[in-house]
Amino acid sequence: INTIGVLTSGGDAPGMNAAIRSVVRAALAKGMKVVGINRGYNGLISGDIHEMTSKSVSDIIQRGGTILHTARCLEFMEPQGQQRGADMCKVFGIDGLVVIGGDGSFKGAEKLANLGINTIGLPGTIDLDIACTDYTIGFDTAVNTAMEAIDKIRDTSTSHERCSIVEVMGRDAGYIALWTGIANGAEAVLLPEKENMSTEALIRMIIENRNKGKRHNLIINAEGSNLDSVKLAKKIEEVTGISTRATILGHLQRGGSPTAVDRMHASMMGAFAVDLLAEGKSNRVVAYKDGQYVDYDINEALDMKKSMSDLRYEVSRVLSI
Ligand code: ATP
């Protein structure tokens, strides 16, 4: 491999910069040339590609977001767009590519691998929704950000003896919800992966909690669950008379300085990706599984099904009484 390209694609996640920095510096250390590709596959197709030096990634390890910007690229979903991407790699002499993103981005990476470009995927998403890995870059920061925000909501909710519904991100996955459910001591967690309490059951729980003397109720609702946070808050207030507020945390969960955990994994995974390319590997995804950094075939990784830990879910329920 002479020249490695690096891009970030799909939703951004804190720690992506640490991963970019790691790819750039690990490749330079091996005597390779590195180019940064802006705005995901959009920049690849349009040739928004520039050489990166050790200095181009200085002072970014602590920054959220991605210095390479990210985008979704419809054109790249079509074979013609993918061919243009592969052609552009040839024009810029890119013979190895690191794609930092989620499942969708890996599908794009697989297409490029089939067109002869050696590609490696790094799991970057706050959602933790990639089946082959126990960890995705950005998850730890997002959970900590959500946890701190929920602590603040809880303070005021306790003072006013309110019920709070807090909606957290995760798209179709409930990991941020489950983790904050345990970390914030929620009374209930609503997840896309599980059969959730009905609105009636939640109302019963809130009334029982009031009778037990609880001064607040915190319900964490994953954005992909079957219940709408605002409607649920309205219904609870209507039926119980307890003042209830819905807070949708939204994009604040995607930003912020990455935690040490995110910086560490992103740095290790970036260097691992460069090692794989140096060994001539292609069409692989880097994962963290059972305490080890490993790699899987992209197709195999995309076929895996994620299953949420029943143990964590059970514990979240046991501790909510
Ligand atoms: P996140 O989970 O954070 O949203 P993601 O990588 O899953 O990240 P997507 O929007 O699904 O986000 O994909 C990002 C980009 O990857 C798409 O805009 C497109 O350019 C490319 N991509 C997605 N699916 C495919 C596919 N089947 N074939 C080729 N390219 C794809």
pLDDT tens for each residue of 215-246: 899 999 999 999 999 999 999 999 999 999 99
With a pLDDT cut of 70, the percent of the chain lying above it is: 100
Just list the catalytic residues: 127
Span from the CA of 49 to the centroid of ligand 1 (angstroms): 19
Q: How confident is the model at residue 321 (pLDDT cuts 50, 70, 90)?
A: confident
pLDDT of residue 310: 87
The CA-based dihedral angle spanning residues 279, 102, 99, 65, taken in that order and rounded to the nearest 10 degrees: -130
101 lines ligand 1 (CB under 6 A): yes
Q: What is the mean pLDDT of the chain?
A: 97
Q: Say yes or no: CB of residue 76 within 6 Å of ligand 1.
A: yes
Quote the Cα angle for 36-289-126, to 5°.
50
Name the 3-class secondary structure at 162.
coil
107 Cβ closer than 6 Å to some ligand 1 atom: yes
Q: Which residue has the tokens 């914030």?
A: 184
- Tell me: the pLDDT tens digits for 277-290? 999 999 999 999 99
Nearest CA to ligand 1 atom 13: 104
Neighbours of 198 (CB within 10 A): 11
User: How far does the centroid of ligand 1 lie from the alpha carbon of residue 201, in Å?
Assistant: 38
Residue 309 has what pLDDT? Answer: 84
Q: How confident is the model at residue 187 (pLDDT cuts 50, 70, 90)?
A: very high
β partners of residue 190: 221
Which of the pair, 149 or 306, is modelled with greater confidence? 149
Whether ligand 1 lies within 6 angstroms of the CB of 104 is answered as: yes
* 225 Cα: distance to centroid of ligand 1 (angstroms): 22
Closest residue to atom 17 of ligand 1, CA basis:
72
Instruction: Please determine, for residue 3, whether its predicted confidence score (pLDDT) is greater than 90.
Output: yes
CA-nearest residue for atom 3, ligand 1, is 11
Q: Which residues contact 58 (CB under 8 A, 6 or more apart)?
A: none
Which of 35, 11, 312, 34 lies closest to 186, judged by CA? 312
Least confident of 76-85, 100-109, 143-152, 205-214: 205-214
CA distance 222 to 196: 11
Nearest-angstrom CA–CA distance, 55 and 290: 34
